[in-house]
Amino acid sequence: MDLKIKLEQLHQKVMGLKDQIGTEEATKNAFVMPFIQILGYDIFNPTEVIPEHVCDIGTKKGEKVDYVIRHNDQPIFIIECKHWKESADAHNSQLHRYYHVSKTRFGVLTNGIVYNFYTDLEKPNIMDEKPFFTIDIEDLKDSSIKILEKFTKKDYNLEEILDSAEALKYIKAIRKEFEKEIESPSDELVKLLVSRFFEKSITANRMVSFKEYTKKALTTSINESISFRLKSALSINEQIEKQEEPAKNNPIDDNSDPKIVTTEEEMEGFQIVKAILREKIPSPRIAYRDTLSYFGILLDDNNRKPLCRLHFNTSNKYLEVFHNGKEAGEKVLLNNLDEIYQYREQLHKTLELYT
């Protein structure tokens, strides 16, 4: 199972459990330890994952960092954890102290949802004030997952990470500054842009006006760019041939029937199937239609292209797969929704029948 799918599973777990997690220790057990496992490190091997590692600092004794991760008998990064309700940006002074004595190159501060990665780009052996990389379990991005792969046990490479860390840090900083300028253009930016076409001096009153004009111009430009991309994507989707059966010939698939109730479990199952199939096709092509007897997941919202069906309306839950053909559905019992991931190969094979 690849990293992306495992992180999607963790995301579902976080969403389902976080309101029941009342302590920092519970956050570590429920969220952080599974994250470490996802990276490929054995949390039950004390030579690889060391909990409560002593990081004595000068005269201060008994200072402990939550986890030290080791690779090839060397400490590679430390993790300091907070309760999930706390900000992952807080308390980095504590991590800063641990970093100094831990002999690692990377420090991670997390609340079990947001993971901030730090290193020592500015001064050797002194942790930078700002992280060079952040990944948010509730807002997973492909670009972030690709970077995280470099921290996995099988792909860990110190030099590669350090080579990209500086670029990541400054790109992140530039993006933040750019976002600030969009929200509230600075005098410097306004003067830079306006001076290219306005030769008169910029009075205080004119500056107020030009700031507003600049904000509108930036916002409009970005919105138009997004709109263009969306239109291009929609145009592609519109070219996909749909062979929908008339509603009158298949009334059971009409979601408007008041007897049809789409449950949270069905939607969660749909999201899992969607995560699996997104490896092969864009997510907008994956649709669903709820019926009285099953929850159908379709390619291109086409009844002739069933990808699978969820039978969750009885005490036992079943996944129906069509890898042997759409006329040869095969039901498999599910003990829990996570077992859907075990049928990744069948779902991909079903997709190949239509592409």
pLDDT 10s digits, 244-275: 444 334 444 445 556 778 888 999 999 999 99
The Cα–Cα gap between 92 and 145 comes to: 23
| Per-residue DSSP letter, 107 | E
- Asked if residue 298 lies in contact with residue 288, where contact means CB atoms within 8 angstroms, the answer is yes
The Cα–Cα gap between 281 and 31 comes to: 29
pLDDT digits (tens, 9 = 90+) for 128-151: 888 889 999 998 888 889 999 999
pLDDT for 56 equals: 60
pLDDT for 242 equals: 47
The Cα–Cα gap between 353 and 348 comes to: 9
Does 349 map to a domain? yes
Specify whether 164 is located in the same domain as 256: no
- Asked if residue 272 lies in contact with residue 341, where contact means CB atoms within 8 angstroms, the answer is yes
Does 231 map to a domain? no
pLDDT for 172 equals: 81
For residue 197, what are the CA distances in angstroms to 63, 191, 194? Answer: 60, 10, 6
Does 237 map to a domain? no
pLDDT for 245 equals: 44
Catalogue the long-range contacts made by 157-165 (C-beta closer than 8 Å, 24 or more residues apart).
158/76, 158/105, 161/105, 161/106, 162/105, 162/119, 165/119, 165/121, 165/132, 165/133
pLDDT for 126 equals: 85
296: domain range?
250-354
Strand partners, 319: 310, 332
Does 188 map to a domain? no
Specify whether 155 is located in the same domain as 264: no
Does 37 map to a domain? yes
Specify whether 261 is located in the same domain as 169: no
- Asked if residue 339 lies in contact with residue 1, where contact means CB atoms within 8 angstroms, the answer is no
Does 91 map to a domain? yes
The Cα–Cα gap between 129 and 172 comes to: 14
pTM for the whole structure = 0.55
* C-alpha 321: how far from chain center: 27
Q: Which of 94, 46, 63, 152 has the alpha carbon at shortest distance from 107?
A: 94
Does 130 map to a domain? yes
SS3 track for 127-186? CCCCCCEEEECCCCCHHHHHHHHHHCCCCCCHHHHHHHHHHHHHHHHHHHHHHHHHHCCC
The Cα–Cα gap between 61 and 332 comes to: 56
Specify whether 167 is located in the same domain as 290: no
Specify whether 264 is located in the same domain as 156: no
Specify whether 146 is located in the same domain as 290: no
Work out how many domains the chain is built from and give that number.
Answer: 2
Does 196 map to a domain? no
Nearest 5°: the CA angle 179, 182, 186 is: 100
The Cα–Cα gap between 109 and 91 comes to: 8
pLDDT digits (tens, 9 = 90+) for 105-121: 899 999 999 999 999 88
DSSP string, 288-350: EEE-SS-EEEEETT-TTSEEEEEE-SSSSEEEEE-TT-TTS-EEEEESSGGGGGGGHHHHHHH
Q: Which of 269, 256, 249, 252 has the alpha carbon at shortest distance from 312?
A: 269
* Boundary (domain end) residue, out of 174, 204, 236: 174
The Cα–Cα gap between 209 and 250 comes to: 59
**CATH code at position 9:** 3.90.1570.30
Q: Which of 107, 102, 162, 161 has the alpha carbon at shortest distance from 129?
A: 107
Specify whether 38 is located in the same domain as 147: yes
Specify whether 155 is located in the same domain as 293: no
Q: Which of 4, 10, 39, 40 has the alpha carbon at shortest distance from 279?
A: 4
Strand partners, 77: 69, 106
- Asked if residue 296 lies in contact with residue 309, where contact means CB atoms within 8 angstroms, the answer is yes
The Cα–Cα gap between 307 and 305 comes to: 6
Low-confidence spans in the chain with pLDDT less than 70:
1, 55-62, 90-92, 229-258
